[in-house]
Amino acid sequence: MEYSRILFFFFLLSTLTPFLDAEDIKSRDIGIYFGGGIGSASVKKLPPVTTGGGTLTPANPNSDCAYAGVGLRYFISKKWMADAAIMPALIYGYNFAADPAGGKVHINGIMIRLLADRLFFLSEKFSAHAGAGAMSISGVKISKPDNDGAVRLSEDNDSNIIPFVRLGLEWKIQPLLGWAVFGSYNLAQNDYKYYSLAGGNNTKVLIRQFASPRLMFETTMSFYFE
């Protein structure tokens, strides 16, 4: 259902083309880019929990996010651009400390993103971007811990749609080669929880909770084709 909504959003973007003025149509440039980004998640500080006759103290480390992948840009006109990307290397918590239950873990996932950008040409080589879109994060799973599985991700972490807005600046190093930086603000967040199976009866104890980043920064290198 969520992927169908994203595809419908992209379809609506494509329907804009017939209504553009002829003078506004540039060459139908297509760009392929490689990029990555970072962000900082919102961490909830959890208190110590007593279970099975012992006390488990959550480490509560910062939960950074990093991602990398590829994307496709289609210039609907000189002023408007559609952008679709897949970021298969999405990871939360690459700087996590060891869990109190033992082992180090991080959360992996895949991000799919669609957006539309309005372009403002500042000079022959520089253009500003202002856009909005939506992303979906799916395939979320925890990497195998060092202690062979004492930590579990919450069962309610289904993928959902996260709308966002962004601003950016691109520098055309060459006519068909561009480098850009972007800052985006997410209008919604995913909530992640994971647990330790503590005690002799494998009691599930919440040891870490955080929400996906609100603010993210990204850089891309693009190759364009006319």
Comparing 3-17, 22-36, 186-200, 211-225, the range with the smallest average pLDDT is: 3-17
| Amino acid making up residue 41 | A
Q: Which residue has the higher pLDDT, 40 or 46?
A: 40
What is the pLDDT, as a whole number, of residue 149?
44
Is 20 a member of any domain? Answer: no
Cα 32 off chain centre by: 18
User: Strands 54-56 and 126-142, how do they pair?
Assistant: unpaired
What is the pLDDT, as a whole number, of residue 16?
47
Is 186 a member of any domain? Answer: yes
Q: Which residue has the higher pLDDT, 123 or 18?
A: 123
8-state DSSP, 19: G
Is residue 122's pLDDT more than 60?
yes
What is the pLDDT, as a whole number, of residue 146?
47
Is 145 a member of any domain? Answer: yes
Main-chain phi, psi angles of 2, to 5 degrees: -65, -40
Is 173 a member of any domain? Answer: yes
What is the pLDDT, as a whole number, of residue 18?
43
Domain that holds residue 59: 2-15+27-225
Q: In this predicted model, what pLDDT tens digit does every residue of 154-176 receive, in sequence order?
A: 555 555 789 999 999 999 999 89
CA distances from 117 to 121, 186, 224 (A): 12, 16, 16
Mean confidence (pLDDT) of the chain? 77
State the Cα–Cα distance between residues 97 and 139, nearest whole angstrom: 23
What is the pLDDT, as a whole number, of residue 34?
97
Taking the alpha carbons at both ends of the chain, their separation in whole angstroms is 34
Q: In this predicted model, what pLDDT tens digit does every residue of 86-101 receive, in sequence order?
A: 998 888 765 554 555 4
Do the beta carbons of residue 168 and residue 122 sit within 8 Å? no
Is residue 8's pLDDT more than 60?
no
Q: Which residue has the higher pLDDT, 145 or 197?
A: 197
- Tell me which long-range contacts 7-14 makes (C-beta under 8 A, separation of at least 24): 9/114, 9/133, 9/134, 10/82, 10/84, 10/114, 13/76, 13/82, 13/114, 13/116, 14/76, 14/82
What is the pLDDT, as a whole number, of residue 49?
76
Do the beta carbons of residue 199 and residue 52 sit within 8 Å? yes
8-state DSSP, 183: E
Is 110 a member of any domain? Answer: yes
CATH of the domain at 101: 2.40.160.20
Is 22 a member of any domain? Answer: no
Q: What is the pTM of this model?
A: 0.75
For residue 102, name the pLDDT band (cuts at 50, 70, 90): very low
Q: Which residue has the higher pLDDT, 194 or 225?
A: 225
Comparing 4-8, 25-29, 188-192, the range with the smallest average pLDDT is: 4-8
Cα 49 off chain centre by: 32
Is residue 64's pLDDT more than 90?
no
Is 21 a member of any domain? Answer: no
Over range 182-200, report the average pLDDT: 81
State the Cα–Cα distance between residues 181 and 175, nearest whole angstrom: 18
What is the pLDDT, as a whole number, of residue 201?
60
Number of domains in the chain: 1
What is the pLDDT, as a whole number, of residue 158?
52
